[in-house]
Chains A and B, each alone.
Chain A
Amino acid sequence: MGEKVLMKGNEAIAEAAIRANCQCFFGYPITPQTEVAAYMSRKMPKIGRVFLQAESEIAAINMVYGAAGSGVRSMTSSSSPGISLKAEGISYIVGAELPCLIVNIVRGGPGLGGIQPAQSDYFQATKGGTHGDHNMPVYVPASIQEMVDLVQEAFDVADLYRTPCMIMGDGMLGQMMEPVEFKEVTKRKLPEKDWAANGLQGRKKHNVINSLYLKAEDLENHNLKLQEKYKLIKANETRYELFNCEEQCDLIMVAYGTTARICKNTIKLAEKEGLKLGLIRPITVWPYPVEAFEKTINKTKHGYLSVEMSCGQMVEDVKLSVNGRAPVNFFGRVGGVVPNPQEILMNVKELVGGVK
Chain B
Amino acid sequence: MAVVFDRPKALLDIPTHYCPGCTHGVIHRLVAEVIDELEVLDKTIGVAPVGCSVLAYDYFACDMFEAAHGRAPAVATGIKRSNPDKVVFTYQGDGDLAAIGTAEIVHAATRGELITSIFVNNCIYGMTGGQMAPTTLPGQITETTPYGRDVKIAGYPIQVSEMISTLIGAVYVERVSVDTVPHVIKAKAAIKRAFQYQLEGKGFSMVEVLSICPTNWGLSPDESFIWLRENMIPFYTLGVKKDSTQEVK
Contact = CB atoms under 8 A, between A and B. Distances in A.
Answer yes or no: A and B touching, Cβ < 8 Å: yes
Contact of A92 (B43, B68, B82, B104): B68
A66 B76 contact: yes
Interface stretch (A54-62, A183-191, A228-236, A323-331): A54-62
A63 B44 CA distance: 17
B81 A69 contact: no
Interface of B: 41-45, 47, 54, 57-58, 60-68, 71, 74-83, 86, 103-104, 106-107
A199 B47 CA distance: 12
A211 to B, nearest CB: 7
A20 to B, nearest CB: 16
A133 B57 CA distance: 24
A63 B65 contact: no
B81 A24 contact: yes
Contacts of A62: 67-68, 71, 74-75, 78, 104
Contacts of B63: 197-200, 206-208
A200 B64 CA distance: 10
B65 A197 contact: yes
Contact of A201 (B43, B47, B80): B43
B79 A66 contact: yes
A197 B74 contact: no
Given A69-B65, A197-B64, A59 B54 contact: no
A23 interface: yes
Contacts of A89: 68, 71
Determine which residue in B42, B67, B81 has the highest number of CB atoms from chain A within 10 A of its CB, and name it.
B81
22 contacts: A23-B82, A26-B78, A50-B81, A58-B103, A59-B74, A62-B68, A63-B74, A63-B75, A64-B78, A65-B68, A65-B71, A66-B65, A70-B86, A72-B83, A197-B64, A198-B45, A198-B86, A200-B43, A200-B44, A207-B64, A209-B65, A209-B66
B103 A52 contact: no
A202 interface: yes
A24 B84 CA distance: 13
The dominant DSSP class at the B interface is helix
A65 B45 CA distance: 14
Contacts of A72: 82-83
Interface of A: 23-24, 26, 50, 52, 54-56, 58-60, 62-70, 72, 74, 88-89, 92, 96, 197-202, 206-212
A206 B57 CA distance: 9
B62 A199 contact: yes
Given A199-B42, A210-B57, 6 more contacts: A54-B74, A55-B103, A72-B83, A92-B67, A198-B63, A210-B64
A69 B42 contact: no
Contacts of A58: 71, 74, 103
A68 B78 CA distance: 8
Contacts of B62: 199-200, 206
Nearest to A89: B68
B86 A199 contact: yes
B75 A198 contact: no
Nearest to A206: B63
Nearest to B50: A212
A194 B222 CA distance: 46
A54 B104 CA distance: 9
A92 B68 CA distance: 7
Given A198-B63, A200-B62, A211-B66, A24 B71 contact: no
A65 B60 CA distance: 20
Contacts of A207: 63-64
A24 B82 contact: yes
B82 A70 contact: yes
Contact of A67 (B61, B64, B68, B82): B82
Nearest to A196: B63
Contacts of A199: 42-45, 62-63, 83, 86
Contacts of A56: 103
A209 B57 CA distance: 9
B106 to A, nearest CB: 8
A199 B77 CA distance: 15
Given A66-B47, A70-B79, A88 B64 contact: no
Contacts of A206: 60-64
A198 B78 contact: no
Given A56-B103, A200-B63, A63 B42 contact: no
Contacts of B58: 208
Contact of B66 (A26, A59, A208): A208
Nearest to B43: A199
A92 to B, nearest CB: 5
4 closest A-B pairs by beta carbon, nearest first, are: A66-B78, A63-B78, A62-B74, A197-B63
Contacts of B86: 70, 198-199
A67 to B, nearest CB: 4
A65 B82 CA distance: 11
Given A55-B103, A55-B104, A67-B82, A212 B66 contact: yes
Nearest to B44: A199
A145 to B, nearest CB: 30
A197 B45 contact: yes
A115 B179 CA distance: 55
